[in-house]
Chain A
Amino acid sequence: MTRNLLAMLMLTAVTAPVLGHHSETAEFNPDTPVKVTGTIVRVEWLNPHVWFYVDVKDEKGNVTTWGFSGAPPGSLMRRGITKDVLKIGSVVNVTGARARDGSNNASSRSVTFADGRNVFTATNEGAK
């Protein structure tokens, strides 16, 4: 039940419109959702959007780095998400919408940690 609820919430987050300093839909395609599990290797806690990078290993051991944008630092902090939450080395599952240019960049929606904690990293709180 809890898992289903979480799945539903995550699906909602992926499909909801997300707005910010730029037009998300111009840059990222909500119809190409991304869901990866990997390790946070870099965090840019900067304006106009936080970016964090996740190394994702496939079954052959090849590593692909995905870049995820998020809300501005101020918006995340007012939600109680500080820089310390996105710790380098943390194993995370990230959902988002992929960049329209097909690169391994995406606009993040939510980040779930190994212990089950889930944080909402998208720009607009209304996208919950």
Chain B
Amino acid sequence: MNHSWLRSSVLAAAMTLAAIATVRAEDPPRMPDGKPDFSGIYTQPSTVNATGPRGNLIFNADKMAPVKPGAEGLLYEARNGDPRHDEPRAMCLPAGFPDGMLYILPIQIVQNPKTLVIIPELQRAARIIPTDGRPHREGIEPTYYGDSVGRWEGDTLVIDSVNFKRWILDDYHYTDPTKTRWHSDALHTTERLKRDGDKLLYQITIDDPKIFTKPFSQDFVLTLRRDWEQLGLLEYVCEENNRCAGGHCRPSDGQ
């Protein structure tokens, strides 16, 4: 009898603690329509499954899906000495998605009931994502950032993106002086965003059927920086003073 009472008490306590934990994890600030409020400035993702130097997006090759036979040349391209190919961002060409999303500069999320806007400070390339259930646009030329639409799954915002131009996938080339890593024009990404306190849990699924045998996902954590709200995002005009671009310092780059 006493043991039974003890078991019940322990069970009740455990359930209470679990309930508190659940409430804490699933009780984000909310918009007037009840949806979680992602608004704010977030910084530098810390990689959970990815590897590479902290700060820049470099997917962990060990956690990628297998590459289709014959598709290795689509995933990796040898450097050819032209910085516009080898490292487009160094020439102020678009970072693109996903590379420009998970970067050392902050992003700002602005939200209303029908739209969520993600603005990376890098190149200020805003992603304007409808969240009202509309389908992807038709008849649009492929782009560096793709065409994105969002939908809610409970407190998780799911962003589906298609219609990409073939472009650099990530900053792999920072770790390999011989090759660069690309996605194909068949790239389809699914992002899952969820708030956990001041953390933004961010998962991206890469589905690139021209390159990989199946989709794969990697996880990141972005941190809300309330202390950066007042300064806000700053302008970032890459062309303004891009000295020594691509590793070629000209006489005008100094002195």
Contacts and interface: CB of A to CB of B under 8 A. Distances in A.
B240 interface: yes
Nearest to A16: B53
Contact residues of B: prevailing secondary structure: loop
B117 interface: no
6 contacts: A26-B90, A47-B237, A47-B240, A74-B105, A124-B55, A125-B55
Given A65-B255, A78-B231, A104-B254, A126 B246 contact: no
Contacts of B234: 73-74, 77
Contacts of A124: 53-56, 104
A48 B105 CA distance: 11
Given A26-B90, A26-B177, A21 B249 contact: no
Interface in A11-45: 17, 19-27, 44
Nearest to B53: A17
Q: Which 9 A-B pairs have the closest CB atoms?
A: A22-B90, A67-B254, A46-B241, A126-B54, A27-B247, A74-B234, A65-B255, A103-B249, A19-B56
A105 B243 CA distance: 10
Interface string B218-255: 00000000001001011111101111111111000111
Contact of A22 (B89, B105, B237): B89
Contacts of B121: 74
A113 interface: no
A104 B255 contact: yes
Contacts of B122: 21
B92 interface: yes
**For the side of the interface on B, what is the size category?**
35 or more
Contacts of B173: 23, 26
Given A23-B173, A99-B249, A74 B236 contact: yes
Nearest to A51: B243
Nearest to B56: A19
A126 B105 CA distance: 12
Contact of A21 (B86, B238, B255): B238
A99 B56 CA distance: 21
A27 B83 CA distance: 11
A100 to B, nearest CB: 6
A24 B53 CA distance: 12
A48 B92 CA distance: 9
Nearest to B243: A51
A99 B249 CA distance: 8
Contacts of A126: 53-55
